[in-house]
Amino acid sequence: MALLAALVVYPLLYNVGLSLRNYRTGEFVGLHNFARALEDPQFFASLRATGVYVSAALATELTLGLALALLVHRTIHSGWARALVYVLFLIPMVTPPVAAGVIARLIYTPTYGILNVLLLRLGAISSDVLWLSEPATAMFAVLSVDVWQWMPFVFLVCFAGLQAVPADTVEAARVDGADGWRLFWHIEFPYLQSLLLLVLVFRFTDTFRVFDHVQVLTAGGPGATTEFLSLYLYRVAFKFFNLSYAAALSLFVLLVTSLAFAVLGRYLVREVSA
C-alpha cells in the first residue's frame, strides 16, 4: 500500500500541485495553467492532429485485424500453419517502437528509400513521393507504423476470441443456411463484442499517448502537422521547461484515458454481472 502511494499517489498529487503553480516562481496561480490551454492554438492543433491519428489508427487496426482474424480462422485449419501466422504477427509487436520508427524512416526516405524505389520501378509513380515532408503523407507514414505494429494485436485477440465460438453452434447455423456475413454477425460477433471493446480501449489509450516512433520518424513535422498531444507535451516540458503547463496538459491526457477505462470498466462489470 505504501509502495502504491509512493509510486502512484505521490507523483499524481505532486503533478496536481505543479499544475496549480507558476513554473518559474512557484507562486500559486489556481487554474491559470488550465485556462491557458483553452487559449493555446498549438494545444488545439495538437489535439486535432491527435484526433485524426487516433480515429484513423483505430478504424484501420480494428477493421483489418478483425478481417484477418476471420480470414485465418475460416481458411487456415492446420495447426502448424496457424502457429506460423501467430509468430509472424508477433514480430511487429515485439519490435521496439523506436526501432520501428528508424526502419520506417529508411523505407520512406525520398530518393533511396525502398518504397519510392519500388513504386518508381513498378511505374506507379513518376517522381519521388515526399512521404515525410508533406502533411498528408507524413500523417500516413506515422499511421502506417502504428498499423503495422498494432494491427496484429487486434488480430491475435480476435483470433483467440473466435476459437471460443462453439463449433456445433456454427455448424448448426451453416445447416440452417447462414452465409458468411450472417454467421459472423449473429454467431461470432457476440463472442467478440467484449474483446473488441477491450481492444478498442487499449488501442485508444495507446494511440492517444503515441510518442516514440513519431518522434523518430517526423519529430512532429512537417511544421506541426504530426505534433500529437504527447509530442506537444514533451515540447512544453523539456524544451520550454514550463513544467506547470505540462503538468496541466498531462492531467488532461490522464482524464481522457481514465474516461476511456471508466467506460470499459462499467461495460465489463455489466457483462460479468449479466
Partner 1 sequence: MVVLLVGALAVASTAVAAPGLPPKPAKLTMAVVAGGETKGLKAILPMWEREMGVKVELVEFPYPTLYEKLVTAFQANAPTFDLLIADDPWMPKFGSEGWLVPLDQTFGYQRDPDIFPVVYDLGSWPPPRGPIPPGEAGKPRRLYAITLVGNVEFFMYRKDLLPAPQTWDDVIANARKVHDPSKPFYGFVIRGAKGNPVISEFTPVLLSFGARIFDNNWRVVLNSKEAVDALRFFAVELKKYAPPGVANYDAAERAREVATGRAAQGFIWPAEITDIVENPAVSTVIGKMGYTLAPRGPGGKHAPLMGNWLLAIPKASRNQRWAYEFILWATSARVQRPYALGGGIPFRRSILQDADLNRRFPFFKAMADSLAAPAEWRPRTQEWFAVEAILGTHVNAALAGIETPEEAITKAAREIERHMKEAGYYR
Closer Cβ to partner 1, 15 or 133, answer by number: 133
Binding residues for partner 1 restricted to 35-74, rule: CB under 8 A:
42
Closer CB to partner 1, 36 or 74, in the complex: 36
Collect all residues with Cβ–Cβ distance below 8 Å to 79 and sequence separation of at least 6: none
Q: Does 134 bind partner 1 (CB under 8 A)?
A: yes
Is residue 240 a contact residue for partner 1 (CB under 8 A)?
yes
Task: Provide the 3-class DSSP secondary structure of residue 228.
Answer: coil
28 binds partner 1 (CB under 8 A): no
Q: Is 21 helix (H, G, I), strand (E, B) or coil?
A: strand
Q: Which is nearer to partner 1, 128 or 212 (CB)?
A: 128
At residue 138's C-alpha, the angle toward residues 135 and 141, to 5°, is: 155
Give the per-residue contact string, 93-112, with partner 1 (x = CB under 8 A; - = no).
----------------xxx-
Specify the DSSP class assigned to residue 101.
H
Shortest Å distance, C-beta 72 to partner 1 = 36
- Quick one: which of 224, 213, 210, 234 has its CA closest to 108? 213
**Binding string to partner 1 for residues 210 to 229, with x set by CB under 8 A, is what?**
--------xxxxxxxx-x--
Choose the binding region for partner 1 from 58-66, 124-132, 201-209, 259-267 (rule: CB under 8 A): 124-132
Q: Does 92 bind partner 1 (CB under 8 A)?
A: no
* Single residue of 60, 133, 169, 257 touching partner 1 by CB under 8 A: 133
**Complex with partner 1: residue 75 or 111, whichever CB lies closer:** 111
Question: How far lies 97's CA from each of 24, 29, 62, 103, 178, in Å?
Answer: 34, 38, 20, 10, 42
Which H or E run includes 115? helix 114-122
Q: Dihedral sign, CA of 252, 257, 260, 261?
A: negative
Q: Among 17, 24, 35, 96, which residue interacts with partner 1 (rule: CB under 8 A)?
A: 24
| The three-state (H, E, C) secondary structure of 127-195, written as one string | CCCCCCCCHHHHHHHHHHHHHHHHHHHHHHHHHHHHHCCCHHHHHHHHHCCCCHHHHHHHHHHHHHHHH
CB of 219 to partner 1, least distance (A): 5
Residues lying near partner 1 in the complex (CB under 8 A): 24-25, 42, 109-111, 127-128, 130-135, 218-225, 227, 235, 238-242
